[in-house]
Amino acid sequence: MSENIFPGITIHSFGEGQMGQLIQTFDWSKTSLGPIEAWPQSLKAHVNMILALPTMASIFWGEDLLQIYNDTCTNTMGTRHPANLGLPVKKGWPEAYAMTEALFKRIMNNAEVVVYSRAFTPLERDGFIEETYFDSTMSPLRDDQGVIRGVITLGSENTELVLSERRTSMLRDISQAIITPADHFQSLMDVFSSNPNDIRFSCLFLPDDVGSQIKLTASFGIDESDKKTQRFEQFMNLVREVLTTNKAHEINDFQNLIPHTPIAPWPELTQKVILIPISTEANPAKGVLVFGISPRLKFNESYRNFFVDITLKLARILESEEQVRDSVKIHKSYQFLNSVIEHVPLMIFVKDAKELRFTRFNKAGEELLGYTSEDLVGKSDYDFFDKAEADRLVEKDRATLASRKVLDIPEEKIQTRLKGERLLRTKKITLYDEHGDPEFLLGISEDITEKKQAEAQHRLLLQEQAARTEAEKMIQQRDDFISIAAHELRTPLTSISLQNQLIGKLLPTLDLSAGFQKITTLTQNCQMQIERLSKLVENLLDVTRVTTGRFVLDKTEVNLSELVVRIHKGLEAESNKSKCRVDLNLEPELIGYWDAARIEQVLVNLVSNAMKFGAGEPIDVSTRIASNSDGKFAVLKVKDQGMGISQEDQARLFNRFERAVSINSFGGLGLGLYISKQIATAHGGRIRVESEPGQGASFIVELPL
């Protein structure tokens, strides 16, 4: 029962309230106190007293110090309520009793009263050992005979007050650490590390010097070896996400992400971590702060706000520093820009967008127009140019402002005061105010008068030089061709003439039966020279066919090795004359689809050249099958052991009328290799040469089968 005397004062009787009901219904017979009826009257009075108290009050009675507590205690006991009712203090609060056992003994043995303020008391009341603080008075309790049988504790929990004062003090230290030292980021970590009860570890991530990547700027509580692991890089990905989204992120299993050792003063590992973007209001994040959360504190709103306050304080300081740096940078940039504008060798001018009057002119513009800045500023084009010219300039200004695009004027004539008419290349650009409206017109002009004159003269010189070069080239080609052709055609004709003269002189004196062999030999020599002449003429015709696009193939099935054997027999006389033995190394049955006559022409050209330049040494002719990514192909190789060919000559050897040796030493029009290349190319193949001076030459023809 309870009775209201007047407002604010209530008298409770035993059993009133939650704990009063619970105490009455509790089975005390199973404890050392026995049933309530057997309790001493003094204990009943003590219990009735604490139940009526509005502050936390507990009684610990008997040898086991069994606990009895009031309603106010239940608010701080967490999951220990109601299990602790009737339990010995040693079992109910083992973590606290380890610290208070001596106090209980002193009170019980010496009848002392113990008072403590903001005493640290580790309590496990919500599934973990919690860091708590209490103001308490512990006094002895006597039974009906006056013997001390128990202890009464009266007090209140002030954990939040202690934490708040501790955190407020730390916020002041943070401000001082950031403002004073030069390396304030590491000083900030030093302040964090001084309060491991609230901050188990911390990492500060800021952009690098160029602002392209975020990096770990300062930290405490994380081993250096951990920062170099793959897991830490995964953690960095979370940091980048927080920076991008500008939203805080919590991790509840940090030990699984980055294993680390416990940090004093608690033996527990840090599992919960919060990542907070460093930003004010809706501004973009300037970095990320990471805090390790204490395993002995509830992560409630006040704890979270503590971290937010730290981050916000750092964000404001960084923004303030950035504003100072920006102001200095803007001032320096203005000075630099002003210096550039004044010294750049181009005319730079600025007009207001409304009346198109000059507001700025640099030195190059003054020198070009022949007026000073004082003469120009505040004036318009009509003050310096005739109306027609001023109309043209103003029209282009208005067009630039209206289009909101850069106007590029490649050439425009302008009349200057001292230099007469000049030719300028000008770009006009619109500058806008904060509302996006045109405010100024920027003009940049280059005097290209001398440049245009020089370009015109240069073009004229190039045209004249090109015409001379082409004419000289054509004349040289004509003279070379005439010289070579005349020499080559004259040689067989002279031989034929001499052979015929010999035949004419010999016939009257010879017995035809006895001189038949001589006549036959002379006739054969004449025929050989005639065939040589025919070959030269045919080569000239092939050049014409290639040039006019009438070079066509008549492809049939051809055995390349058989073709080589046949040509070898046909060249026996020439081989004997050159004293170059021809050795064959042929792939049997090398069959492809080619123009037999043209392939024969290539082979004759290559073998004849080898005999001509082979210095009487053996010539190797080989065929084989090779393959690449495009399929199989035939390889024909003609190798001599003659004088060889330089790299410079190899580069031009397959061109028309090109020769690697003097015509005075060796004959030929310089067309055989050119035509051979055209034939190989027409078959989808190629021809190439491998040679070094004095080492002979190998001509290799590759033909798709």
Q: Is 214 left (phi over 0), alpha (psi -120 to 50) or beta?
A: beta
Count of domains for the chain: 5
Q: Determine the length of the chain.
A: 705
How far, in Å, CA of 205 to CA of 220, rounded?
Answer: 12
Kindly state whether residue 339 falls inside one of the protein's structural domains: no
The winner for highest mean pLDDT among 377-381, 542-546, 672-676 is 377-381
Shared domain check, 91 and 233: no
Mean pLDDT, residues 238-256 taken together: 90
Q: How confident is the model at residue 683 (pLDDT cuts 50, 70, 90)?
A: confident
What's the pLDDT score for residue 546?
Answer: 58
Shared domain check, 260 and 149: no
Of 385 and 664, the structure prediction assigns the larger pLDDT to 385
Shared domain check, 665 and 579: yes
Kindly state whether residue 338 falls inside one of the protein's structural domains: no
Q: State the burial class of residue 445 (Cβ atoms within 10 Å of its Cβ: 0-12, 13-18, 19+).
A: buried
How far, in Å, CA of 119 to CA of 121, rounded?
Answer: 6
Overall pTM > 0.75: no
Q: Residue 513 is part of a domain; what is its CATH number?
A: 1.10.287.130
Kindly state whether residue 331 falls inside one of the protein's structural domains: no
Shared domain check, 185 and 57: no
Give me the helix-helix angle, 184-193 and 159-179, nearest 10°. Answer: 160
Task: Please say which residue of 157, 180, 206 terminates a domain.
Answer: 157
Model pLDDT for residues 609-631, shown as the tens digit of each residue:
888 887 788 999 999 999 888 88
Kindly state whether residue 336 falls inside one of the protein's structural domains: no
What share of the chain has pLDDT > 90, as a percent? 33
Model pLDDT for residues 498-557, shown as the tens digit of each residue:
776 677 666 666 666 555 666 666 666 666 566 556 565 555 555 555 555 556 777 889
What's the pLDDT score for residue 538?
Answer: 59
Model pLDDT for residues 564-601, shown as the tens digit of each residue:
888 888 787 777 777 888 889 999 889 999 988 888 88
Shared domain check, 168 and 229: yes
Domain around 442? 344-447
Mean pLDDT, residues 390-406 taken together: 90
Model pLDDT for residues 318-358, shown as the tens digit of each residue:
777 666 566 556 556 667 777 777 888 888 899 999 999 99
How far, in Å, CA of 338 to CA of 340, rounded?
Answer: 5
Q: Residue 294 is part of a domain; what is its CATH number?
A: 3.30.450.40
Evaluate whether 182 touches 175 at the Cβ level (below 8 Å).
no
Q: Does residue 151 have a pLDDT over 70?
A: yes
Kindly state whether residue 335 falls inside one of the protein's structural domains: no
Model pLDDT for residues 266-315, shown as the tens digit of each residue:
888 888 999 999 988 767 888 999 999 999 999 999 999 999 999 988 88
Question: Which residues, including other chains, have CB under 8 Å from residue 405's CB and lie 6 or more apart?
Answer: none
Q: Residue 687 is part of a domain; what is its CATH number?
A: 3.30.565.10
Mean pLDDT, residues 689-703 taken together: 90
What's the pLDDT score for residue 3?
Answer: 46
Task: Please say which residue of 122, 157, 192 terminates a domain.
Answer: 157
Mean pLDDT, residues 422-445 taken together: 90
Of 299 and 497, the structure prediction assigns the larger pLDDT to 299
Shared domain check, 570 and 535: no
Task: Please say which residue of 387, 421, 447 terminates a domain.
Answer: 447
Shared domain check, 281 and 152: no
Kindly state whether residue 353 falls inside one of the protein's structural domains: yes
